[in-house]
Amino acid sequence: MTPLVNLSDSTIMYIYLSKEYSIDDHNRRLNNLVYEMKPEFGFSNQENNSTETTWILSETHLSAAGVDFAESPYGWSVTFALFGELEGSDTNQLLYLNQVELSTQEENVELDQFLVPIFAIVFGIIVITTILGNMYKEEHGMPIISGYWHREKANCLVVEFTTKSRRMEIKSLEVDAPWKLSSRFKSRFIEANKSVNIELKFKQSETTDCRLHIKLEVDELGVWTQFLAITTNID
């Protein structure tokens, strides 16, 4: 450091170590908490007389103050505050103030440390792409299923299957009690881009909703179980 004017012999450089965001022992959040303060005299106070010196904050003092750069490496700064009197003045004042952010992390990153997050990002992109691809296949491959009661036939439910880009097989169809089918359902295939109505005859109508469990096998998408609930036909 090089004073631009003559300073008094009582001039002191105070060094403060602070943290931008801190939590004390009582879990209180504080801004710019000072962990360590050290006064220094080892510099020239003569005009244009340069001094090179090294000031050290004791590791013992830092540890006692709760400073742990390994556990909390970010947000640290060092503040230099010069207090004293100018030559010919008897007023003690702040002569110089400067704050420097403290770097507590190695700037040189090893190749493997750099590649790990890159691989993680690439893996994440692959997973997301796969999920979106499967969702697209399902959206354009799964059939649309709807149902309504036959207007003329008693206790007859019409289930409409509309396939999209893939052929499918209706492997089984079951109904929740107390509803009962008049005959056992037989599996059948429906080609892609077709609309087929299947009539289901029940032994009798019930007061509860009619709930169907439809087991399908769609090309390239595998086996699925779809649920269809139709309001009872009893008014």
Interval 117-162: pLDDT, tens: 676 777 777 777 666 555 555 556 688 889 999 999 999 999 999 9
63-114: per-residue pLDDT in tens?
Answer: 777 777 777 777 888 888 777 777 777 777 787 787 888 776 554 445 555 5
CA-wise closest residue to 217 among 187, 178, 194: 187
| H or E element at residue 190 | strand 188-190
pLDDT, position 46? 75
Domain ranges, ordered by start, for the chain: 12-101, 140-230
pLDDT, position 83? 78
pLDDT, position 24? 62
Residue 165 is given by DSSP the state S
**pTM more than 0.85:** no
Is residue 216 scored above 60 in pLDDT?
Answer: yes
Third-level CATH fold of 140-230? Immunoglobulin-like (2.60.40)
CB-CB contact of 188 with 169 (8 Å): yes
Strands lying side by side in the sheet with 195-201: 144-149, 156-162, 195-201
CA-wise closest residue to 233 among 212, 202, 207: 207
Percent of the chain whose predicted confidence (pLDDT) is above 90: 22
For residue 50, what pLDDT band results from cuts at 50, 70 and 90? confident
**Distance (Å, whole) CA 226 – CA 134:** 18
